[in-house]
């Protein structure tokens, strides 16, 4: 049909999230090296328009909330040529330790994430990633 397969939007969410963490100086590998993981526990995606093959897209990603053992991210996927929205969505993540059990987000990460939230609330929408 010439349109991008719907599940690819979830991959784009992951890419946006990974790049956001990298921009914060926290590549996901460094989180794993500390003995923590943030698996997706919930995902939502609302498809607004179809992306076509060879479209160049923009991924806007932002941290939207943090709990003691969870993180939430929001996403907007845009067509680069005209900034038209293709999809919006969110993911929820649990913090788990290397033993696979729910764990409190380490204080160093929690402080970083809280700072990101404060900055996002006092500024304009995030730049595309």
Q: Which two tokens stand for residue 7?
A: 């599940």
CATH code of the domain containing 100: 3.10.129.10
SS3 82: coil
Number of domains in the chain: 1
Residue entry with tokens 């996403």: 75
Tell me the pTM.
0.90
* 48 occurs within a structural domain: yes
- Phi, psi (rounded to 5 degrees) for 45: -145, 125
| DSSP H helix total and E strand total for the chain | 3, 6
Q: Quick one: pLDDT at residue 124? A: 61
Q: Residue written as tokens 């293709």?
A: 86
Neighbours of 126 (CB within 10 A): 19
- What are the pLDDT digits (tens) for 45-88? 999 999 998 999 999 999 999 999 999 999 999 999 999 999 99
Domain assignment of residue 69, given as a range = 8-121
Tell whether the model's pLDDT for residue 37 goes beyond 70.
Answer: yes
């Amino acid at each position: 049909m010439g349109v991008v397969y719907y599940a690819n939007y979830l991959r784009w969410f992951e890419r946006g999230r990974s790049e956001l963490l990298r921009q914060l100086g926290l590549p996901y590998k460094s989180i794993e090296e500390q003995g923590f993981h943030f698996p997706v526990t919930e995902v939502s995606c609302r498809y607004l328009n179809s992306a076509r093959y060879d479209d160049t897209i923009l991924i806007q990603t932002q941290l939207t909330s943090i709990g003691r053992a969870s993180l939430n991210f929001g996403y907007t996927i845009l067509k680069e040529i005209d900034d038209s929205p293709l999809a919006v969505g969110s993911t929820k993540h649990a913090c788990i330790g290397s033993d696979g059990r729910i764990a409190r987000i380490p204080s160093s990460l929690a402080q970083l994430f809280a700072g990101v939230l404060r900055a996002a609330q006092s500024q304009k929408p995030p730049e595309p990633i």
